[in-house]
């Protein structure tokens, strides 16, 4: 159960255009956004930052979601794992690939370029941070510096989201919850504190 309830959408009329964009992109509005709206200007500032990072267009949108997913799993945030897996599915990424993201090092579905990005996502999201120069040598074989910057930006953005949602025990919305139950539960995922109240 959420430790701080999101504000009702009816009280956030000024955010309605943003909500509609989010719904078009994700299929729903994350509960974290109307909770952030409790802090003046935070929802607007975060929305601008997240939109810039996630939609920079420098790397494939499916890979963006995988980077977010792997970094969220490394940080232990079940809420963000459900969101990123569901969003990858919403973008048309093969569900078998989503189901097997944690075997990216050996699974033929993942390219050497994807492996380099996901390796950094896994290691940079841990505390203490395990990123090394070797990660960047590997990334340079596949990506230019702007693309690497977007990869790191996605990892960093989800560092914030992982802390926010895990600390707040943000309640999972029906769409990502259902997706996670079908595709992530066999891989160590549980809704835990993010489960909707019964």
pLDDT in tens, 96-153: 999 999 899 999 999 999 999 999 999 999 999 999 999 999 999 999 999 999 999 9
Whether residue 175 contacts residue 145, with contact meaning beta carbons closer than 8 Å, is answered with no
Q: What is the pTM of this model?
A: 0.94
Token pair belonging to 90? 């919403």
Q: Out of 14-18, 114-118, 154-158, 160-164, which region has the weakest mean confidence (pLDDT)?
A: 14-18
Ramachandran region, residue 127 (left: φ > 0; alpha: ψ -120 to 50; beta: rest): beta
Q: What is the pLDDT of residue 20?
A: 87
Q: What is the pLDDT of residue 19?
A: 86
Mean pLDDT within 147-168: 98
The answer, yes or no, to whether residue 54 has pLDDT greater than 90, is yes
User: CA-CA distances (angstroms) from residue 174 to 82, 150, 177, 187?
Assistant: 10, 29, 5, 20
pLDDT interval class at 59 (50, 70, 90): very high
Q: Name the CATH code of domain 58-194 (choices 1.20.1290.10, 3.40.50.2300, 3.40.50.720, 1.10.260.40).
A: 1.20.1290.10
The answer, yes or no, to whether residue 198 has pLDDT greater than 90, is no
**What is the C-alpha to C-alpha distance for residues 108 and 113, in angstroms, rounded to an integer?**
12
| Higher-pLDDT residue of 168, 22 | 168
Q: What is the pLDDT of residue 186?
A: 82
């Amino acid at each position: 159960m959420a430790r701080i309830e999101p504000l009702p959408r009816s009280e956030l009329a000024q955010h309605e255009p943003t909500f509609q964009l989010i719904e078009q992109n994700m299929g729903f509005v994350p509960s974290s956004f109307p909770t952030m709206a409790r802090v003046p200007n935070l929802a607007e500032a975060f929305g601008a930052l997240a939109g810039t990072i996630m939609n920079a267009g420098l790397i494939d949108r499916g890979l963006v979601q995988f980077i977010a997913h792997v970094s969220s799993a490394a940080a232990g945030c079940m809420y963000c794992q459900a969101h990123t897996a569901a969003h990858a599915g919403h973008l048309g990424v093969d569900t078998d690939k989503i189901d097997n993201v944690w075997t990216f090092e050996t699974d033929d579905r993942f390219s050497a370029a994807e492996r380099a990005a996901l390796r950094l996502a896994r290691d940079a999201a841990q505390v203490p941070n395990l990123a090394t120069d070797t990660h960047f040598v590997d990334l340079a074989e596949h990506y230019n510096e702007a693309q690497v910057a977007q990869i790191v930006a996605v990892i960093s953005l989800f560092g914030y989201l992982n802390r926010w949602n895990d600390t707040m025990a943000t309640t999972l919305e029906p769409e990502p919850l259902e997706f996670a139950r079908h595709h992530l539960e066999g891989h160590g995922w549980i809704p835990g504190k993010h489960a909707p109240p019964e």
